[in-house]
């Protein structure tokens, strides 16, 4: 039995550190290069497991050394991978540029995740008995995420959609009606609503595109979180920390938010817990090493 089910991605993260990101047509010499575990779904599953949740991960990796390394990670972290598939082809790879201020830019090659269709969710419904929260991301095909949410709603599980990366195309009709909590950042909210990224956060969170979702959890980086619930808006400030690397901060937030919900916390309390987790994560480099344990919080 699991507390949390994560339906999402795994990918190898190839990180380059440099003083600043290159302009178009420019070459910039970096200071460091690392290969590490990544993928939002995997990061979120490991983050939830570190915070004490029994976590099941549903994803796909390739039949390559990156895929083999992923299973070693999940075994070490205590993540249940009985619904994770190994498919012919390459594991997803992300190339991450991190500048001197800790800001990141990411390019992704999906690999076998492009073939992670709704058929790969076979057996998911049977594993949802007793599950508190299903956390779904969009580094997998949108149709697969849609089907996962449908399965979760049919099972009576609390559904959380992390719309990252936000698709340029409109989400399928009825998809957001299956979502109890949506957790976009400012850029993702702007993409989903069609508004400029510098739109007032309250206007983003209150946009009609989210009308079917009871809880909008808009993450704002150093500005914290804006919650839009059925009773209005609530701000949750972020702790002030020295930023080393923001890569994975959103994953840490989503993992902790899902864990808090699975423990019966209300959205505001869950967001306060998740903001602490995200603030801890940005003080360390690389996604997996930066994910906090309960003792860190």
Q: Which residues are catalytic?
A: 251
Contact 217, 267 (CB under 8 A): yes
- The dihedral built from the CA positions of residue 204, 281, 1 and 37, taken in this order, carries a sign that is positive
Cα 214 to Cα 282: distance, rounded to the nearest angstrom:
29
Tokens of 254: 């989503």
**CA separation (Å) from 215 to 78, 137, 180?**
30, 16, 6
Contact 37, 68 (CB under 8 A): no
Contact 40, 9 (CB under 8 A): yes
Per DSSP, what are the bridge partners of residue 2? none
Q: Which residue has the tokens 């957790």?
A: 183
Cα 109 to Cα 151: distance, rounded to the nearest angstrom:
27
Residue whose C-alpha is closest to residue 168's, from 150, 190, 146: 190
Tokens of 149: 């949410």
């Amino acid at each position: 039995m699991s507390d949390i089910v994560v339906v999402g991605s795994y990918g190898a993260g190839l990180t380059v550190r440099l003083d600043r990101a290159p302009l178009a047509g420019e070459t910039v010499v970096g200071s460091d290069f690392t290969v590490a575990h990544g993928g939002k779904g995997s990061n979120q599953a490991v983050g939830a497991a570190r915070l004490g949740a029994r976590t099941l991960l549903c994803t796909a990796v390739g039949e390559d050394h990156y895929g083999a390394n992923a299973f070693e990670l999940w075994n070490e972290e205590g993540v249940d991978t009985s619904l994770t598939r190994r498919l012919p082809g390459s594991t997803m790879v992300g190339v991450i540029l991190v500048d001197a201020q800790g800001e990141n830019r990411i390019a992704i090659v999906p690999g076998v995740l492009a073939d992670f269709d709704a058929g790969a969710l076979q057996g998911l419904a049977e594993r949802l008995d007793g599950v508190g929260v299903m956390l779904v991301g969009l580094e997998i095909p949108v149709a697969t995420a849609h089907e996962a949410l449908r399965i979760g709603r049919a099972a009576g599980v609390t559904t959380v959609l992390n719309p990252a990366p936000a698709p340029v195309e409109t989400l399928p009709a009825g998809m957001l009606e299956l979502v109890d909590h949506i957790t976009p950042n400012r850029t993702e909210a702007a993409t989903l609503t069609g508004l400029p990224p510098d739109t007032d956060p309250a206007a983003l969170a209150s946009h009609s595109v989210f009308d079917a979702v009871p809880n909008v959890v808009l993450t704002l980086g150093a500005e914290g979180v804006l919650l839009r619930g059925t009773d209005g808006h609530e701000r949750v400030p972020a702790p002030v920390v020295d930023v080393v690397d923001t890569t994975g901060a959103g994953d840490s937030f989503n993992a902790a938010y899902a864990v808090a919900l699975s423990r019966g916390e209300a959205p505001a309390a869950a967001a306060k817990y998740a903001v602490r987790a995200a603030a801890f994560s940005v003080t360390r480099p690389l996604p997996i090493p930066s994910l906090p344990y309960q003792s860190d919080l």
